[in-house]
Amino acid sequence: MAVIKHLASGESHTLLSSHLVGRGPTCPLSLTNRLVSGEHAVFRWTGSHWELRDLGSRNGTFDGETRLDSGATMQITVGSQVAFGDPGDLFEIVDDGPPSAMAFGDNGEVRAAEGGLLSLPDEDHPELTVFEDGPGRWFVEEQDGTRRPTHDLEQVEAGGQLWRLELPVVLESTLQADAGPVLLSNVSLHFTVSRDQESINISMHHGGQKTPLQTRAHASLLLSLAKARFEDSRNSELPHGEQGWVHVEDLVTMLRTNVNQLNVSIFRARRQFALIKVLGATGIIERRPGSRQIRLGIPHVEIETL
């Protein structure tokens, strides 16, 4: 996500997908310098890069020492220096990544998504998971599997406080035509497991390619769910929609953990796949609404014991 730094104070600000700058109190970047107009300029994510547009300000928006024409737009990248009204009061772009979903708590706490997944009140206590399923289509999922659409600026409750959601329309850069997205539905998983199950290696197979996954603590969860899915797939009388479901309580006992830590593992497994750009990564672990059952969202698995 994009970050700008005020050179005089050292204070940093994370940019929303549309980030208004001005003296107005409702501007996400609210400045006190009287040379700044009420609504002075706006940062915008285009889907591939960031732009800064002057909004007809009285004292101008500056690209370094060069004043932009009124209403003009400039592309910004890491290292760009800009100013609003006062050319000597500079901000520098220190990160120009795409915007991320964010949540602002009523006690001043801020949470930012990783890989398009946002956990509230935090990833160690994931009561709610906010994620995008298709461009601009945002959802909130509760621990019981209940899922509903959400939208920008909606308030949700988690951890005993209200959170205001800031949800960008575009989370990822424009995909290259020769590097199509990896769809979860086209993925299979291969597990290589030692006999004592102390070593679990997982690789993702898609389109003739093999992507080894970094070993994480949630590998045991993925393996347990893969085994359940594999065993049920051998029952020809069991419909696909009924295969692989495991009760949360059974998993807690099997993995010698607790419900909260299990939910943390679910969130981190989903995030691992999201960070390697798998579309629909939240579905790597499915929750069955109202049943306290979960399953691996991929039907094609191989388990090899060494």
Does some domain include residue 109? yes
How would residue 174 be classed by pLDDT, with cut points 50, 70 and 90? Answer: very low
Task: Please give the tally of structural domains in the chain.
Answer: 3
Query: Looking at 96, 122, 144, which one is the last position of a domain?
Result: 96
Single-letter amino acid code for the residue at 260: N
Does some domain include residue 177? no
Do residues 158 and 269 both lie within one domain? no
Do residues 91 and 157 both lie within one domain? no
Do residues 107 and 92 both lie within one domain? no
Does some domain include residue 294? yes
Q: What is the pLDDT of residues 183-230, one digit of tens each?
A: 898 999 999 999 887 899 999 999 889 999 999 999 999 999 999 999
Q: What is the pLDDT of residues 217-251, one digit of tens each?
A: 999 999 999 999 999 999 989 999 999 999 999 99
Residue 267's domain comprises 182-305
Q: What is the pLDDT of residues 145-159, one digit of tens each?
A: 999 999 988 999 999
How would residue 176 be classed by pLDDT, with cut points 50, 70 and 90? Answer: very low
> Is residue 172 predicted with pLDDT exceeding 90?
no
Query: Looking at 46, 61, 96, which one is the last position of a domain?
Result: 96
Do residues 262 and 242 both lie within one domain? yes
Do residues 91 and 106 both lie within one domain? no
Query: Looking at 166, 199, 214, which one is the last position of a domain?
Result: 166
Do residues 137 and 202 both lie within one domain? no
Does some domain include residue 172? no
CATH code (residue 59): 2.60.200.20
The predicted model scores a pTM of 0.78
> Is residue 173 predicted with pLDDT exceeding 90?
no
Judging by DSSP bridges, how do beta strands 12-14 and 29-30 pair with one another?
Answer: unpaired
Do residues 201 and 296 both lie within one domain? yes
Contact 53, 39 (CB under 8 A): no
